Amino acid sequence: MASRYDRAITVFSPDGHLFQVEYAQEAVKKGSTAVGIRGTNIVVLGVEKKSVAKLQDERTVRKICALDDHVCMAFAGLTADARVVINRACVECQSHKLTVEDPVTVEYITRFIATLKQKYTQSNGRRPFGISALIVGFDDDGISRLYQTDPSGTYHAWKANAIGRSAKTVREFLEKNYTEDAIASDSEAIKLAIKALLEVVQSGGKNIELAIIRRNQPLKRKKYL
């Protein structure tokens, strides 16, 4: 049944599936794991970096990107699609600042990315973006935010979430271990992110990269071990 309705993005199947969008979610699972945690005074993004080839410049393999000074995102899925989405989002952040003289809220830029992704699920001749994104940051009101988008163009706010390979295992770990105590202090939140990643990261902790944003402070990246 699936094979007759899954070639064109703009065709619904009789039971209401958009198969291309669902297949795009499979592409997300091919990317390495990314985890996001929202603490009270800190937001943490942790990613599993895959090993780079010997001759490859490590700095050009980026899974966490800053969209603005106070917002950053991690993605899982097709690298090229992510690059396009990130570029559009960065331009939108600056355009917003110029037009209304205020930096974007995390929800605004998430909505922008989600709308962009949804447009590509409803146009002929295009395919959906094969990425899911975790967007974190602090708004002007000082509240921390974490949002997740997926290829279908939906977005939701989360307290903690994971995307990419073995995301389900990490999410189950977070459900068990995310407590008010666990995120009480900044270091506890960072520890939780690392522990969650270690559940699924291959070859131990050598391949973990973290990005943290504290309230009113710029993005900090940390490479572990």
Partner 1 sequence: MAATFFGEVVKAPCRAGTEDEEEEEEGRRETPEDREVRQQLARKREVRLLRRQTKTSLEVSLLEKYPCSKFIIAIGNNAVAFLSSFVMNSGVWEEVGCAKLWNEWCRTTDTTHLSSTEAFCVFYHLKSNPLVFLCQCSCYVAEDQQYQWLEKVFGSCPRKNMQITILTCRHVTDYKTSESTGSLPSPFLRALKTQNFKDSACCPLLEQPNIVHDLPAAVLSYCQVWKIPAILYLCYTDVMKLDLITVEAFKPILSTRSLKGLVKNIPQSTEILKKLMTTNEIQSNIYT
Binding segment toward partner 1, per CB under 8 A, in 95-103, 177-185, 198-206, 208-216: 198-206
Cα distance between residue 3 and residue 31, in whole Å:
25
What type of residue sits at position 196?
A: A
Give the nearest distance from C-beta 98 to partner 1 in angstroms.
30
Query: Which residue lies nearer to partner 1 by CB, 79 or 87?
Result: 79
Of 115, 187, 202, 217, which lies in the binding site for partner 1, with binding defined by CB under 8 A? Answer: 202
Question: In angstroms, what CA-CA distances link 159 with 38, 145, 206?
Answer: 5, 8, 26
Give the Cβ contact number of residue 84 at 10 Å: 13
State which residue, 25 or 177, has the beta carbon closest to partner 1: 25
Distances (CA, A) of 28 to 1, 81, 136, 150: 23, 11, 19, 9
Q: Which stretch binds partner 1 (CB under 8 A): 36-44, 74-82, 180-188, 215-223?
A: 74-82
Structure tokens of 62? 């980026």
Q: How far apart are CA 217 and CA 156, in angstroms?
A: 25
For the four alpha carbons of 37, 64, 217 and 212, in that order, the dihedral sign comes to positive
If one asks whether residue 200 binds partner 1 (CB under 8 A), the answer comes out as yes
Which residues 78-137 are close enough to bind partner 1 by CB under 8 A?
Answer: 78-80, 82
Give, as ranges, the residues between 14 and 53 that touch partner 1 (CB under 8 A): 25-27, 29-32, 50-53
Smallest gap from Cβ 10 to partner 1, in A, equals: 17
Report the alpha-carbon distance of residue 186 to residue 184 in Å, rounded: 7
Least distance between partner 1 and beta carbon 77 (Å): 6
Q: Does 155 bind partner 1 (CB under 8 A)?
A: no
171 contributes a contact to partner 1 by CB under 8 A: no
Q: How far apart are CA 20 and CA 32, in angstroms?
A: 21
- Interface ranges with partner 1 (CB under 8 A): 25-27, 29-32, 50-53, 56, 61, 63, 75-80, 82, 165-166, 168-169, 200, 202-203
